[in-house]
């Protein structure tokens, strides 16, 4: 290892740190996604519709989930009566899958109920990650996926030891409401085919 004077040593360490950071950044850089690739076509392939099986709202932070027989979604806000409905952000509505609840239950060795996960809408028959980066429809309501809904520390509190890790990768998605309306159990959940986006991808081939 090279030896430096105190002044040189400080500069050398700074340079080495910068070089290491650049190397690490280059290794972590994600390759750009080609919208004309075969993978993009697979992602845009038809998705079998699912359906709503449960709806719930949280009137305030840490309040118990309240099961609803129907809910009204307001564009740009969320479900009326839910604490997030007054916040104009990305997390207006949260969705999870009934299939994920079963998997989480297997991980923990107990039954998991919809209100345990504290998501607004539980669906069945569709992989919610297939809606990533897409607009979708629930009944007459239109939404757009805004991100994945990762577990928080409350899962350890509600589900017990191991709850947080049991939910990792199974927390569902968050969405914004783009067109409001009524949602009720039995409503179909299906992606909205974006003609403009599809045409743009064809032109880029």
Find the CATH number of the domain harbouring 65. 2.40.33.20
Give me the half-sphere count of Cα atoms (radius 13 Å) on the Cβ side of residue 62.
Answer: 3
In a domain? residue 154:
yes
Domain count, the chain: 2
In a domain? residue 107:
yes
Summarize the confidence of residues 32-38 as an average pLDDT.
69
Q: What is the pTM of this model?
A: 0.75
pLDDT averaged over every residue in the chain = 82
CA atoms 53, 59, 61, 62: torsion sign: negative
The percent of residues in the chain predicted with pLDDT above 70, rounded, is 75
74-96 pLDDT per residue, tens = 999 999 999 877 666 788 999 99
Q: Band the pLDDT of 205: cuts 50, 70, 90.
A: very low
Summarize the confidence of residues 151-178 as an average pLDDT.
93
Q: Are residues 112 and 162 in the same domain?
A: yes
Summarize the confidence of residues 41-49 as an average pLDDT.
78
In a domain? residue 205:
no
Tally helices (H) and strands (E) across the chain: 7, 11
Q: Are residues 83 and 15 in the same domain?
A: no
Q: Band the pLDDT of 202: cuts 50, 70, 90.
A: very low
pLDDT at 86: 63
Q: Are residues 22 and 51 in the same domain?
A: no
- The domain in which residue 118 lies consists of 40-198
Q: Band the pLDDT of 16: cuts 50, 70, 90.
A: low
Q: Are residues 60 and 116 in the same domain?
A: yes
pLDDT at 26: 45
CA distance 74 to 79: 6
Q: Are residues 135 and 73 in the same domain?
A: yes
Which ranges in the chain belong to alpha helices (H)?
6-28, 38-43, 98-108, 114-117, 154-159, 163-167, 195-204
- Distance set, CA 177 to CA 12, 27, 91, 97, 136 (Å): 53, 37, 10, 19, 10
Q: Are residues 18 and 107 in the same domain?
A: no
């Amino acid at each position: 290892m090279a030896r430096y004077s105190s002044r040189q040593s400080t500069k050398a360490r700074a340079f080495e740190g910068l070089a290491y950071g650049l190397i690490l950044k280059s290794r972590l850089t994600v390759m750009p996604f080609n919208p004309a690739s075969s993978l993009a076509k697979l992602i845009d392939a038809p998705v079998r519709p699912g359906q709503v099986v449960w709806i719930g709202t949280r009137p305030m932070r840490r309040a118990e989930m309240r099961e609803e027989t129907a809910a009204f979604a307001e564009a740009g806000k969320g479900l009326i009566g839910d604490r997030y409905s007054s916040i104009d952000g990305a997390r207006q509505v949260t969705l999870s899958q009934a299939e994920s609840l079963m998997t989480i239950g297997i991980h923990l060795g107990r039954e998991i109920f919809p209100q345990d996960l504290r998501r607004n809408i539980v669906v069945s028959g569709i992989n919610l990650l297939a809606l990533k980066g897409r607009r979708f429809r629930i009944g007459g309501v239109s939404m757009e996926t805004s991100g994945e809904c990762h577990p928080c520390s409350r899962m350890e509190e509600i589900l017990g030891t191991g709850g947080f890790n049991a939910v990792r990768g199974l927390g569902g998605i968050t969405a914004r409401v783009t067109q409001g309306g009524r949602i009720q159990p039995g409503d179909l959940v299906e992606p909205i085919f974006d003609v403009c986006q599809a045409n743009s991808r064809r032109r880029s081939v």
